[in-house]
Amino acid sequence: MLENLEPAKLELEGKTYLLPTVRGSEGEKAININSLRKDTSYVTLDNGFQNTGACISDITFIDGDKGILRYRGIPIEQLVEKSNFSETAYLIVYGKLPDNDEYHKFADTLNSHSMIHEDMLNFFHGLPNSAHPMGILSSMVNSLSVFYPEVYDPERENEAFDVAVARVIAKIRTIAAFSYKKSIGEPFVYPKHRYKYCANFLHMMFASPVNDYKLDHVLIKALNQLLILHADHEQNCSTSTVRLVGSSQVNLYASICAGICALWGPLHGGANQKVIEMLGYIKDQGISVQDYLQMVKDKKNSIRLMGFGHRVYKNYDPRAKIIKKTCREVLDHLNIKDPLLDLAMEMEEAALNDDYFIERKLYPNVDFYSGIIYKAMGIPLDMFTVMFAIGRLPGWIAQWKEMRDFKPVKIGRPRQIYTGPNLTDFTPMQERK
Ligand code: CMC
């Protein structure tokens, strides 16, 4: 619910302007500057959108100071305990928990859309085995718009939304597993209707024509938890990209493809791969934890402690807290002793007691421990960010739909302050110095 508050007063060049202010349902306040440029000829400047609210949203609430994350009001701690990824995806996309019939209908629709068009396999065959799975994933998701051109358009047809949702959530998992099979030169393994979402993914990843994959309920639960914890995170870089691209009224698949590309970067979802690479490097080079922290703190280097820090959380990331516990459970269950987990825990303890990290309120984020679980499951390093994308999909869909349903519809189009040359005449080639 949005509440109007007393207007803010702005003094500018000897004049006073009144700007509307609003408060959201958890008390977050904003000054609405929609009319600022029209009234004053000023725009606002905010590098990296550090303090810009780009939308009002009903989907996800984060309190970064207290370390709170809720989807549609429900704390993530309850969802990881009591829900599974399909049900949480329904919650995020449709705004409420499904009843029994709705849940089974949704799960059945996911199953019925789990295969990809056979002609899409030609794309896989044409790619080099070395292709990064994020590059494959983004291209394949974009290509859904040509294989399934009956894309959902909120202006015209509402009933097609359910199909578009099921299609992309179901197929992203198949595309991801096929890209792995392609990279190791094994035949693709098709989904099975009798398996639920996460079990089906593990089956497509690890079964082969000669071997079944023995389902492991601890791993299935852990995967459900990981995907739930990634399912939405309000206006992060990839979600803002999905909204911005979608605001031009391009279709859902193209918008999600853009989100996948934004997620790939190491400062965002790509950090889960970088954390394992960093820990491996520290271990292989025999660098001590304290020496590595010195390297990170030295501003002459551009080295960051990957998996640490967050734009919004100035407290322990609540997702990291759960993932750290799950990590220990999975490793114990599989009887794996991973020296990278010991190193990560040692690094965390040292960083949390170091003034540099304390002053800047830098804590482990969602990516710090997740890779150790994926590694234990047998998922290859370059697919970690793909796992993030599978998890984030319900959030992208819900945010895209919310953006398209918001009235008045506005294309995303920020302003700038120009600092280039003033009017300059063209110089013919022979006169150029
Ligand atoms: N290691 C060392 N110093 C850091 C780190 C880090 N991981 N993160 C932030 N800082 C320092 C930074 O150098 C700056 O110091 P100073 O004030 O002296 O210049 C201060 O902390 C504030 O950092 P910032 O870059 O202004 O913060 P930001 O909000 O723009 O960036 C971030 C957030 C996540 C990009 C950043 O913390 C980072 O690069 N972390 C490492 C990459 C990472 O783990 N990314 C995954 C984020 S969680 C998944 C997701 O949702 O994307």
Separation CA 418–CA 412 (nearest Å): 19
List, for residues 351-370, the tens digit of each pLDDT value: 999 999 999 999 999 999 99
Select from 394, 357, 389 the least CA-distant residue to 370.
389
Q: Residues 51, 396: contact at Cβ < 8 Å?
A: no
Q: Identify the band that residue 291 occupies on the pLDDT scale cut at 50, 70 and 90.
A: very high
Residue 266 has pLDDT above 90, yes or no: yes
Q: What is the rounded average pLDDT of the residues 291-297? A: 97
CATH number at residue 27: 2.20.28.60
Task: Order the strands of the 68-71 sheet from edge to edge.
Answer: 60-63, 68-71, 74-75
State which residues form the domain around 58.
3-63
- Tokens 């894309």 belong to which residue? 151
With a 6 A CB cut-off, is 268 part of the ligand 1 pocket? yes
Select from 104, 74, 109, 67 the least CA-distant residue to 88.
74
146 contact partners, CB below 8 Å, separation of at least 6: none
Per DSSP, 211 falls in state B
Q: What is the DSSP string of 65-103?
A: TTTEEEETTEEHHHHHHH--HHHHHHHHHHSS---HHHH
Indicate the burial class of 63 (C-beta count within 10 angstroms; 0-12, 13-18, 19 or more): middle
Q: Identify the band that residue 273 occupies on the pLDDT scale cut at 50, 70 and 90.
A: very high
With a 6 A CB cut-off, is 230 part of the ligand 1 pocket? no
Q: Residues 133, 180: contact at Cβ < 8 Å?
A: yes
Whole-prediction pTM value? Answer: 0.96
Kindly state whether residue 367 falls inside one of the protein's structural domains: no
Kindly state whether residue 170 falls inside one of the protein's structural domains: no
**Residues 162-200, buried b or exposed e (16+ Cβ, 10 A)?**
ebbbbbbbbbbbbbbbbbbbbbeeeebbebeeebbbbbb
Radius of gyration of the chain (CA): 24
Q: What is the rounded average pLDDT of the residues 101-121? A: 93
> For residue 427, how far is its CA from the centre of ligand 1 (angstroms)?
45
> How confident is the prediction for the chain on average, in pLDDT?
95
> For residue 310, how far is its CA from the centre of ligand 1 (angstroms)?
6
pLDDT-wise least confident of 98-102, 146-150, 185-189: 146-150
Q: What is the rounded average pLDDT of the residues 20-49? A: 97
- Give the pLDDT of residue 158: 65
Kindly state whether residue 27 falls inside one of the protein's structural domains: yes
Kindly state whether residue 85 falls inside one of the protein's structural domains: no
Kindly state whether residue 117 falls inside one of the protein's structural domains: no
Q: Would you please indicate which residues are annotated as catalytic (active-site) residues?
A: 310, 367
Q: Residues 88, 71: contact at Cβ < 8 Å?
A: yes
Q: Ligand 1 pocket test: which of 302, 355, 365, 368 has the largest number of ligand atoms within 8 Å of its C-beta?
A: 365
Instruction: Please name the residue whose Cα sits nearest to atom 15 of ligand 1.
Output: 360
- Give the pLDDT of residue 160: 83
Helix (H) or strand (E) holding 9, with range, is strand 3-12
Tokens representing residue 131 in the block: 């292709």
Q: Identify the band that residue 198 occupies on the pLDDT scale cut at 50, 70 and 90.
A: very high
Please count the structural domains in the chain: 1
Kindly state whether residue 47 falls inside one of the protein's structural domains: yes
